[in-house]
Amino acid sequence: MSTRTNLIPSKKKPPGEFHFMSIHIEAKPGEIAPAVLLAGDPLRAKHVAETMLTDAKCYNNVRGMLGYTGYYKGVRMSVQGTGIGMPSISLYATELIAEYGVKHLIRIGSCGAMQPALKLRDVLLAMSASTDSNMNRRAIGDMDFAPTADFYLLNQAWEVAKHENIPVHIGPILSTDSFYDFSPGSWRLWAEFGLLAVEMETAALYTLAARRRVQALTLLTVSDHLDTGEQLSAQDRQTAFTEMVKIGLETVYRLYSPGAV
């Protein structure tokens, strides 16, 4: 039985299907690989391309939102900056999918932990993304869609984590619209429902991927803890993300080299 259930073609085409009039990405047709890692910070995308990929070529510099295509263990893949928040990631993800034919999107991001069991530098695989945003409600006639990771990607990432001996937490997260919330303790209600951590992009990414019948997964590294107030320094962030990036790269590698591991 196939686990790629979300790839069943939709009868209705989503709106906004226009070809190679991409506004925010200036890549030429064919310059972006079908699998893309998405980093909020474009400089993280650059860092991943320069340190983890071979023969990486920059295909985008519009608004400084860098994107690169290169090779990891011989498998062609891309890494693209998305900016912060759901509107920003949505426009890059939409253009990648609708105009460049991208099929697999793996976000590599940071998050704030909401549970005592989570520590700085821990890695999470986001199974689902609740949200305080109105974006998804607008997409589905004011009803609630349940944004979830693609099971096939989630399972592959989990297999990679086990193989690489990288401990991970797998569970639900929150995608918020407000980094600096007007009611600072409001996250505690979400924590009571078992949400592990908060970030600002995944609910929109999972919803978009579902609507456009592609696969998406979010990997996160804990950069701060909402309860204790601890934070990674900018320097520590760079090194702490290495394990998460490795899971992302190896997951894509396995998609294109089945049986290689």
Span near ligand HPA by CB under 6 A; candidates 20-28, 153-161, 195-203, 238-246: 195-203
In the list 31, 132, 177, 224, the residue contacting ligand HPA (rule: CB under 6 A) is 224
Q: Is the Cβ of residue 34 or residue 109 nearer to ligand HPA in the bound state?
A: 109
Which residues is 124 bridged to in the sheet? Answer: 169, 220
Q: Is the Cβ of residue 96 or residue 240 nearer to ligand HPA in the bound state?
A: 240
Minimum Å distance from CB 111 to ligand HPA? 5
175: contact with ligand HPA by CB under 6 A: no
Minimum Å distance from CB 191 to ligand HPA? 12
Q: In the window 89-118, what residues touch ligand HPA (CB under 6 A)?
A: 110-112
- Cα 37 to Cα 33: distance, rounded to the nearest angstrom: 10
| CB neighbour list of residue 235: distance below 8 Å, 6 or more residues apart | none
Among candidate residues 132, 177, 224, 227, the one labeled active-site is 224
Q: Is the Cβ of residue 72 or residue 241 nearer to ligand HPA in the bound state?
A: 241
Side chain identity at residue 186, one-letter code: S
Phi, psi for 92 (deg, rounded to 5): -70, -45
Q: Is the Cβ of residue 99 or residue 122 nearer to ligand HPA in the bound state?
A: 122
DSSP per position, 167-235: -EEEEEEEE-S-SS-SSGGGHHHHHHTT--EEESSHHHHHHHHHHTT-EEEEEEEEEEETTT--B--HH
In the list 30, 179, 228, 261, the residue contacting ligand HPA (rule: CB under 6 A) is 179
**Binding-residue total with ligand HPA (CB under 6 A):** 11
x-or-dash string of contact with ligand HPA, 231-250, rule CB under 6 A: --------------------
147: contact with ligand HPA by CB under 6 A: no
223: contact with ligand HPA by CB under 6 A: yes
Minimum Å distance from CB 213 to ligand HPA? 28
Residue nearest to ligand HPA (CB): 112
**What distances in angstroms separate CA 186 from CA 77, 92, 226, 227, one per listed residue?**
38, 29, 11, 12
Catalytic residue status for 224: yes
Span near ligand HPA by CB under 6 A; candidates 45-53, 123-131, 148-156, 218-226: 218-226
Q: What are the residue numbers of the active site? A: 224
* Contacts with ligand HPA, residue ranges (CB under 6 A): 110-112, 176, 179, 198-200, 223-224, 226
